[in-house]
Structure formats: C-alpha cells, structure tokens
Structure 1
Amino acid sequence: MWRFLLKLFKSDTSKAYQDPMKKFLIVGLGNIGEKYEETRHNIGFKILDHLAKTEDFSFETLKLGDVATYKLKGKTFVCLKPSTFMNLSGKAVTYWLTKEKIPLDNLLIITDDLNLSFGSIRLKTKGSDGGHNGLKDIQAKLNTTKYNRFRFGISDAFSKGRQIDYVLGEWSKTEQRALPERLDTAVELIKSFALAGVNNTMNSFNGK
C-alpha cells in the first residue's frame, strides 16, 4: 500500500512539475488610451484583440495590464496587454512571468517593426532591441536578449525626422484594407507557437 501511495505521489508531483510547460505568456506591446488604438505602434494590442475576438474571450484589467486566459488543446494562453506604456513594458512582462510561473521559453512578445515591409511577419528566438523602446526595456528587465519575439512589419515609409509621427500615426486606408487577412495569419502564428513549437512555427510562418 505504501509503495502504491508513494508511486501515486511521485506521479502527481511529476504532473504538477510539467504543467508550467503547458502555459504560455503572450504579450502584445502598445500604449493604453483611445488615441493610440489605431496607431501602428499598437499592433501588439490589435493582434491580441483579434485573437480574443476569434477565440471568444475577453480581457480584464489587472495589475500592470489587461489580462485574459484561454485554453486550446491542453495549452493555456495567458494574454497580456501591458498598461505601463511602451517604454516600461518589461515591468509587466516580468511580473506576469513570475506570477504565472511561466518559463522564459514560453514567452512571446508581439511588436511592430520598422525594418519589415507592411504586414510581413517574422518570429525569432533572440536578437537586439532594434531601437524599439519596448523591447529595450524588456531586454533590460529580463537581462537577456534570448526571448521569443513576433515582429509585425509596419515598413519605414516616413521622411527623415518623422519616425515618431509615423509609428504613432494611424494606418493608411490601403493598410486598413489589408489588415484583416494579416491579423488572421498573426492569430494562427500565436496558436502554432504554443501547439507546434517555435521552430516549426518559424518554418511555417516566416516570410508569409
């Protein structure tokens, strides 16, 4: 009997230990406030909002951000839209990673990228901040450049000295017409990240 109970206990603790590997923190970067909703810099928020609409869940305002949790095929997605403003995104990321006991390998940051043409998507497992203040703060708080980031291209179609106006500007009419299809693809990438793994997802989605 004792051997049976010991075996059962070990099985339960092993299962509990593996659970964190089934949980993922999906962070969309952006700035809070109505005036930023349709800006290029808020594509991280926009993608998570589209995921919520597609999967029929809603966010609630909690510490350091709007948070939602949903499950798909045995995986738990903790979705976060930080309320710290872009330049302090790392504070919210580290808080929710710790609170939810999520391994760094299961973190995905969604961000805009000026170096990619509009709508292009790239998933990477490491890299520099590329001058992006949100990534810069996350890198500083995590003390590493090795974390997964989903880069959504917004292009660099701005004149010299107008970068800030461009990233904080709203989508053009042409971009607005193209966004729905790009958002659908972004949602599929997020699901694949958790269900198929980062390497398979990079092979399937990078360049699409």
Structure 2
Amino acid sequence: MSLETVAEEIRTEAEERAEAIRQQAEERAEEIVADAEAEADEIVADAEAEVEQEIDQLREQELSSAKLEAKHERMSARREALDDVRDRVESRLTDLDAEKRRSLTDSLLADSLAEFDEDEQLAVHYAPGDEALVDDLVAERPNVTTAGEYDCLGGVVVESETSRVRVKNTFDSVLEDVWENELKQISDRLFDDR
C-alpha cells in the first residue's frame, strides 16, 4: 500500500469523522433550539395565563367597585326619598285644619296630663301660633297654665312646677317615634323591598 493510499484513507476517515461530528453538532443544536422554543412557548403560555388572571382580578375588582357604587347611589336615593316623605309629613302636620289640630293637641295634652298627679301645678308649652288653642284647652283645668312657645310642629310640652318633670308630647316627638318604629315598613312600601 502506498503512502498515498494510506493518506487517502486517513483523509476519508477524518472527513467521515468530521461529518459525523458536524451531524452530531447539528442534531444537538436542533435539540437545543427545540428545547429553547419549547421553553419559550411555556414562558409565553405562563405569561398569558398570568395576564388573564390579572385581567380577571381587575374585572372582578371593577365589578365589585361598580356594585358598591351602585349600592351607595341606591342608598343615597332612598335616603333622599325618605327625607322627602318625612318633609311632606311634617308639612301636612303643620297645615292641619283647625278642627284636626285641636283634636290632636287635646289628645296629646290629655295623655301628658295623665303622667302627673291631679293636684300638681303644671305649665304647658305649645307650638308657635297655637297659643289661643292651648289657652282654650287648659281653661277648664284649674291646675294647668300656659307657659309660652316651644319650637315644634304642634302638640304640647307639659312641665310640673314642683317636681321639674317634663313630658314632651309634640307632633315632632310622636312623628319621631312612629318614624323610628315604622321606618322599615315605610321603606318597604316605598321601594317595594321583598
């Protein structure tokens, strides 16, 4: 065998080996690229899932905030409507016809006087404009006198001159009691809550 043949075999063997190494390197490179692409796809999928989760959380927060704001607005509207109803009731109490005002004031006075002993000296305060009415109502009661105006819609405030006991039986106080006791029913009727 000649030197040239040996050299040719060595070169062929070296080329085959180089080709095998190159092919292995390409295969390894393709594996690395495939792994990198898979990892990149996984990163993208994770990022998309995270973004979707953040979007869902933001959507829930916005929805919750909107519901809370709507509830606040609804409560505010209800409060305004209830205030309007109360104002209208107070206006109607102020504008009662004389006969009805006399009847209610007499009833409130009688209830107030029942809280005291019969022989106690009592002073009756009245709403502005009701002086003549109350003077007339107390005229038949010997131990009761009028004592001046009291800032209220109507009714009376009766005080004992000896024991310093005071009974407040005004339209305002009766309305306040009824309002507090019946507010839920009033609200239910106005807003049809069930």
Under TM normalisation by the shorter chain, which class is it?
Answer: under 0.3
Which structure has the bigger radius of gyration?
2
Higher relative contact order (CA 8 A, sep 6+): 1
TM-score, length basis structure 2: 0.28
Of Structure 1 and Structure 2, the greater strand share is in 1
TM-score, length basis structure 1: 0.26
Of Structure 1 and Structure 2, the greater helix share is in 2
